[in-house]
Amino acid sequence: MEVRVQNIRKEFGRFPALNDVSLDIRSGELIALLGPSGSGKTTLLRLIAGLESPTEGTVFFGDEDASRKTVQQRNIGFVFQHYALFRHMTVLDNVSFGLTIRPADRRPSNAEIRRRAGELLDLVQLSGLEKRYPAQLSGGQRQRVALARAMAVEPNVLLLDEPFGALDAQVRKELRRWLREIHDRTGHTTVFVTHDQDEALELADRVVVMSKGKIEQIGTPDEIYDTPNSPFVFGFIGQSNMLPVRIENGQLLMGDQPVGVSAPGEADGAAHLYFRPHDIELLDGEGSISGTVVVTRRVAGTRHVELDIGATGTKVEIELPPEKFTSDRARIAFRPTRWKLFRT
C-alpha cells in the first residue's frame, strides 16, 4: 500500500508540531522517521495511523483520501514502545485479538484465527510460548508478540513507534536485524519512528530526517550519511566536526593559516567546514589543521583523539588506528579528506 502525506500541518493549540510536510512512501518500503525529541516524527506517524487529524493537508492510502478515516478503517498495524500487550491474555490470545474483534462478516473462523496466530508466532520465533502471559516473557519476546499481533490483521501499513526504545543495547541490535528479515519476508509497507541514527541507517530503505516540524532530508542511508544537505543533518547523523573558516581565492583559511583544503569556484566569505573524525589524513608541516592532544581513548577498533585547535577555542575529534599512540599535549597536524562547506 502506497502512503502519501501532502502538505500536512498539525497544530496543538497554537503550537505547530508539523509545518507543510509532504512525503511519499512506496508500497513495500521500510521508512525511518528520524529526529530529536520535538522534531514531529511521532506526530507524523500518528497522523498516518489516524490517531491524530491534520489541521491542514491530506493523507492518502493509495489513491484514496484517508484523512478522516479511523484507525480501523485504515487497517493499520501499530507497535508501541512499551508493547501495550494485554496482561490477562496469553501470547496466543494477544496475537489473535485483532481478528477476534472484527465484525462477524469479516471475522475468520476460530480455527483459522488459531492457525494464522500460530504461523505468526512461528515467524517471530516464539513457537511453544503460546500459553504464556506477558509477565512471563523477556522484553524482546514481548516486542515480538506485539509485532505478531500487529501483523495478524494483515495491515495495509505497519507503524512502529520507537519499537526498541525500552530494550537494552544488545537486544536492540538483535531485534533490528530480525525486524529487517521479517520485513523482507512479509513485504509490509512499514514506517518506524526512532531517534537512534544507527537504528535508522541499519534498518531503513530510506531515512526521513526531521527537525522542528519539518523534513530536513529524505534519502537512502548512504545518501543521508555521505551527502547531508544541511548543517543539522551533518551534525545529527554520525559524529562530525565543525570549524569556522574563511574562503579566499578558492582556499580555506583559519585565521591566516591555510587548512590544506581547496574549494575552487566557491565565492569568498565566511563558512563552516564540516568533516567526520575518520575522514582525515595526518600531515607534517604547513598547510594543515593542527592541535594539541587533550585526551585519547580506545573505542573498539579505533583510537579517538580530541584536539584543542588553539586560538579559535575549538575542539575537534579525529580517529586514528589503535596502534597509533599519542600522549597528552602532543601536537598533531591533519587535513580532512572528505568534507562539506556550509555558508554562515
287 three-state secondary structure: coil
Residue 229 confidence (pLDDT): 94
Residue 21 confidence (pLDDT): 96
The pair phi, psi for residue 11, each rounded to 5°, is: -115, 140
DSSP letter (8 states) at residue 66: -
Q: Which residues in the chain land under pLDDT 50?
A: none
Rounded to 10 deg, the angle between the 169-186 and 110-123 helix axes is 120
Residue 166 confidence (pLDDT): 67
Residue 10, C-alpha cell as written in the block: 498539525
User: Using an 8 Å Cβ cutoff, are 242 and 298 in contact?
Assistant: no
DSSP letter (8 states) at residue 247: E
d(CA 176, CA 169): 11
Q: Please report, for residues 32, 81, 144, 171, the alpha-carbon distance to residue 167 in angstroms, rounded to integers and kept in the order given.
A: 18, 9, 12, 6
d(CA 208, CA 200): 9
Strands of the sheet containing 315-320, edge to edge, are 280-283, 331-336, 289-299, 302-308, 315-320
133 three-state secondary structure: coil
Residues 179-195: tens digit of each pLDDT: 888 889 889 999 999 98
Residue identified by cell 494464522 is 116
Query: How many CB atoms are closer than 10 A to CB 166?
Result: 15
214 three-state secondary structure: strand
